Amino acid sequence: MNAIETEKEFITNFIRKEKRERSIWTLSHKKKRSDFIDKFNHNWNEMIVEKNVTQLQDTSDAETYATLKSELNLKDTDICYIISHNDAIDGQFLELQNAFKHCQNNGFAELIISENGKKFYLKTEQEFGAAAKFIGKIK
């Protein structure tokens, strides 16, 4: 899959129906991409259909990564797509291990999406204490 197909599949699988069209439009415009990820900083539950999402407990990065790999059945070398405020990785396909390292170092929301758009990891903005973290998968 290419980036556009991965984004559309993720949006179809996990974004609320009334937010899908706007999400696809926003992601397709370079100057608006950050508006999409901004919505996950504080209002992730207004964007994501919660039935396929699990919030992870407040754990260390190593424990979070182990849970992410186990629950989503992913390997370190699986290719994932990134939606991020960090221009160096936004819109890139990276191996899971590398993507996770980059995303944990940013204080804002980050999305790591499986190449096929059927699994994801979301880290929200860190305000007080640890950032909220979520995984999602189509069952």
CA gap 25, 6 in Å, rounded: 14
Domain boundaries, the chain: 3-137
Which residues in the chain belong to E strands, given as ranges? Answer: 53-56, 79-83, 93-95, 110-114, 119-123, 133-137
The answer to whether 15 and 23 are in contact (CB under 8 A) is: yes
- Residue pLDDT, tens place only, 12-65: 999 999 999 999 999 999 888 889 988 888 788 899 998 889 999 877 888 999
Tokens describing residue 97: 């291990």
State the number of CA atoms in the 13 A half-sphere of 91 facing the CB.
12
Interval 5-10 mean pLDDT: 96
